[in-house]
Structure 1
Amino acid sequence: MNLAFADIRHRLGRFLMTCVGLGLLMAVALSMVGIYQGVVAEALALTRSLRADLWVVESGTRGPFAEASRIPGDVREMIARVPGVDAAGAITLRTAEMRAPQGLLRAQVMGYEPGRPGGPAAIESGRGLGGARFEMVADARARLPLGAMVTLGGDRYRVVGTTRGLVASGGDPLVFIQLRDSQELQFKLAPPAARRALAAGSSAGGTDTINAVVAQLSPAADPDAVAETVRRWKHLAALTDAEQGELLTRSVVNRARVQLGMFTVVLLFVSAVIITLIIYTMTMDKLREIATLKLIGAPDRTIVGLVLQQAMLLGVAGYAAAIAIVFMTRGLFPRTVALGPAEVAMMAGVIGGICILGSLASIRAALRIEPQQALGG
């Protein structure tokens, strides 16, 4: 007879309640691991969707994601003529609030030229932007159905298509509009400001400004060599796709990753302490039973197996509950919870290690129990 299973059957209700409580705690820790991975996945989702091999921005900046970048719109034609460039497109990027049917919606607005690099690679439903103005493609995170009307910058846009998984590094959903609409939204001065600019002798009303140029290179082109060619123009800077990815993961979202990582470590430490206390309490509750086993001559390995098996069963049941909770609810999280087989297996190993280490104190206490205690001494 397996003593661990026999004891669990004897206290089944208490064991199940303990597993549910541990499952909730492990679910929080597992969710933090998924959110940690999701932050990186979200940061790189846009660059991967654009399939850009080269990013051209204002000299001295690392924009458009890390800092502000403004360059003239005709830079796109200059980049398109660089040897090795197959196609180039101009983009603008800004965060804005829009009035949607469900209320105010904060989103990152990206303007691009349909037919050129800069737009989403895949449309989940509806269609991409056409030739008409005031059309919008929104990510599913914005919860805007096809045909919805939203007000942005005083103009009304119709949602004609949706994407999935395209969000800003801060978690805001991405929406795509025509480059011309985005330029007017971002760079056109209001009439009072335009009059002041004219009075000061500066240009007012010019909107042929963009934040970056994205380029797709020919298969034989060397991205580093093309980037170096662009950098020779003193008013421009260039980043390859690899450099842009490194910048996003190590600079733009680095603080969020560090915070999530530290919070995950704290949660795992708290989980280890609670699991250790639960195992110790379960062992001390069986003090008389363990003493009886010793009194009838049970070897120490039987006592060790009892404690260790119960600890592992507790960990397995709690972790199974945690996986079920996380995978059933991760669609409700405001950030992406990216959990694959590697993350689930890694967390399982961590929980297993915690259960083994947490049972050591209980095993030591169990082995020190005197057989006479079974007689009430």
Structure 2
Amino acid sequence: MNLAIRDIRHNLGRFLLTCLGLSLLLAIVLSMLGIYRGLVAESLTLARAPAVDLWVVETNTRGPFAEASRLPGDVREAVARVAGVTEAGSLTFQSVETETRNGKLRLYVVGFEPGRPGTPTAIVEGRAIAQSRYEVVIDRSAGVAVGERIRLGRREFRVVGLTARQVSSGGDPVAFITLRDSQKLQFELAPPAARRELARGSGEATSDIVNAVVARVSPDVPVAAVADGVRRWKHLAVLTQEDQETVLSRSVIERARRQIGLFTSLLLIVSTVIIALIVYTLTIDKTREIATLKLIGAPDRVIVGLIMQQALAMGAIGFVFGVSFIVAAKDGFPRRVVVESPDVLALGAVVVLVCILASSLGVRLALKVDPATALAG
């Protein structure tokens, strides 16, 4: 006869309600871990999309995702001529807010040179950009359809293709347009400002500016050697793909990581307190039964096992339902939620430790129960 199971049956309603509340708490804990993984995945998606080895940016900067970077457009030709570089392409990055049939939409616009590194390849619907002007490939999370027109700056662009899960580190859908269009969108002055600059005698400012030059290196040449050559001879800042990913995962989303970590820790503490209080309450309700067990000679390990088994059962049921809930609901979150097996296993181990720790309060109370209590009126 298992005393823990019999006692759970006796207080089944309260036990199941406790498990439900605990499952929601653990679901939130797992969702916090998934949101952090999603932030990292979203941040790295855009950096990994060009499939390049080097990011060439403005001197003394850490790349277009961490801080402002401006380079003359002819830097791409200079980088392409470096020994070991097989391909090079220019890119621009900017945030744009526009209006669609669904309301305001914030986009992260990437300008690229068709046929060069940076060209979007993961198109799930429609086609790639075929014209040099006024066509856009956009992520389907933006809620626009192929053939629809959206306004970027002073011009209208026709949506010709859709990508999947191409978003910025801030969660904004990515829109790909040609480099020529993006330069006009980002660097071209509005007519009143242009007339004012001409009146001041400043002349017409060039718009042949890019934010980064990406390059692919021959497999036979060490990437680090090529990067050192660009720094030495071209006097530019160079990040390898690994460096760029480190900047994004450790710097750009560092505050979000700390905040999510703190919130997750608080939730685990709350879960521990809830389990401890419930186990303690159940132990108080069983004072006479525990005294009876002691009176008939039951060893302490039987009483300790009764309390710990209930706490572990509570944690296990809450954990299973919490994980099941997040796995079923993660696609409905506004931001990407990535649930990985190592995180689930780690949370399971933490839940076991939490249950053992939380049950210690009830165990301490049970071991203090006087067997004479069973004979009291």
Secondary structure in structure 2 of the residue aligned to 1:98: strand
Greater mean alpha carbon deviation, residues 347-356 or residues 257-266: 257-266
- 1:205 & 1:376 partners in 2: Cα distance? 95
2:110 is matched by which residue type in structure 1?
M
Deviation at 1:24, TM superposition (A): 0.8
Deviation at 1:235, TM superposition (A): 4.9
Q: Which runs of 5+ in 1 are unaligned?
A: none
The match for 1:92 is 92
Residues 4-25 of structure 1 deviation map (CA, whole Å, 9 limit, x = unaligned): 1111122222211111111111
Q: Which aligned pairs between 1:138-287 and structure 2 lie closer than 5 A?
A: 138-204=138-204, 206-233=206-233, 235-287=235-287
Deviation at 1:63, TM superposition (A): 2.1
Q: Could you say if the C-alpha distance between residues 268 and 120 of structure 1 is closer, same or farther in structure 2, counting changes exceeding 3 Å?
A: farther
Q: Could you say if the C-alpha distance between residues 124 and 375 of structure 1 is closer, same or farther in structure 2, counting changes exceeding 3 Å?
A: farther
Deviation at 1:110, TM superposition (A): 0.6
Q: Could you say if the C-alpha distance between residues 232 and 362 of structure 1 is closer, same or farther in structure 2, counting changes exceeding 3 Å?
A: same
Secondary structure in structure 2 of the residue aligned to 1:50: coil
Answer yes or no: is the 8 Å Cα contact 1:195–1:204 preserved in 2: no
Deviating above 3 A after TM superposition, structure 1's stretches of 4 or more consecutive aligned residues are: none
2:248 is matched by which residue type in structure 1?
L
Deviation at 1:234, TM superposition (A): 5.4
Deviation at 1:363, TM superposition (A): 0.7
Answer yes or no: is the 8 Å Cα contact 1:59–1:234 preserved in 2: no
2:47 is matched by which residue type in structure 1?
T
- 1:56 & 1:282 partners in 2: Cα distance? 64
Residues 184-203 of structure 1 deviation map (CA, whole Å, 9 limit, x = unaligned): 11000001111122223324
The match for 2:75 is 75
Secondary structure in structure 1 of the residue aligned to 2:338: coil
- The number of residue pairs the alignment matches comes to 377
1:82 is matched by which residue type in structure 2?
V
Q: Which aligned pairs between 1:295-334 and structure 2 lie closer than 5 A?
A: 295-334=295-334
The match for 1:346 is 346
Answer yes or no: is the 8 Å Cα contact 2:231–2:237 preserved in 1: yes
Secondary structure in structure 2 of the residue aligned to 1:124: strand
Residues 136-192 of structure 1 deviation map (CA, whole Å, 9 limit, x = unaligned): 222233232333322221322222222222221122221111111111110000011
TM-score w.r.t. length of structure 2: 0.95
Answer yes or no: is the 8 Å Cα contact 1:86–1:215 preserved in 2: yes
Answer yes or no: is the 8 Å Cα contact 2:19–2:314 preserved in 1: yes
Secondary structure in structure 2 of the residue aligned to 1:271: helix
Answer yes or no: is the 8 Å Cα contact 2:63–2:244 preserved in 1: no
Identity in percent: 55
- 2:285 & 2:217 partners in 1: Cα distance? 69
2:232 is matched by which residue type in structure 1?
R
1:286 is matched by which residue type in structure 2?
K
Deviation at 1:204, TM superposition (A): 2.3
Q: Could you say if the C-alpha distance between residues 295 and 203 of structure 1 is closer, same or farther in structure 2, counting changes exceeding 3 Å?
A: farther
Q: Could you say if the C-alpha distance between residues 201 and 234 of structure 1 is closer, same or farther in structure 2, counting changes exceeding 3 Å?
A: farther
Residues 8-47 of structure 1 deviation map (CA, whole Å, 9 limit, x = unaligned): 1222222111111111111111111111222222211111
Q: Could you say if the C-alpha distance between residues 24 and 225 of structure 1 is closer, same or farther in structure 2, counting changes exceeding 3 Å?
A: same
2:354 is matched by which residue type in structure 1?
I
Residues 72-124 of structure 1 deviation map (CA, whole Å, 9 limit, x = unaligned): 11111111111111111111001111212211111211111121101334222
Deviation at 1:319, TM superposition (A): 0.7
Deviation at 1:242, TM superposition (A): 1.3
2:31 is matched by which residue type in structure 1?
S
- 2:233 & 2:201 partners in 1: Cα distance? 28
- 2:160 & 2:371 partners in 1: Cα distance? 77
- 1:299 & 1:215 partners in 2: Cα distance? 72
Greater mean alpha carbon deviation, residues 137-146 or residues 238-247: 137-146
Answer yes or no: is the 8 Å Cα contact 2:79–2:88 preserved in 1: yes
Q: Which runs of 5+ in 2 are unaligned?
A: none
2:221 is matched by which residue type in structure 1?
A
1:325 is matched by which residue type in structure 2?
F
- 2:375 & 2:173 partners in 1: Cα distance? 68
Greater mean alpha carbon deviation, residues 361-370 or residues 200-209: 200-209
The match for 1:61 is 61
- 1:148 & 1:288 partners in 2: Cα distance? 73
TM-score w.r.t. length of structure 1: 0.95
Greater mean alpha carbon deviation, residues 200-209 or residues 51-60: 200-209
Answer yes or no: is the 8 Å Cα contact 1:138–1:173 preserved in 2: yes
Secondary structure in structure 2 of the residue aligned to 1:232: helix
- 2:140 & 2:355 partners in 1: Cα distance? 40
1:210 is matched by which residue type in structure 2?
V
Greater mean alpha carbon deviation, residues 7-16 or residues 345-354: 7-16
2:90 is matched by which residue type in structure 1?
A
1:66 is matched by which residue type in structure 2?
A
- 1:147 & 1:338 partners in 2: Cα distance? 31
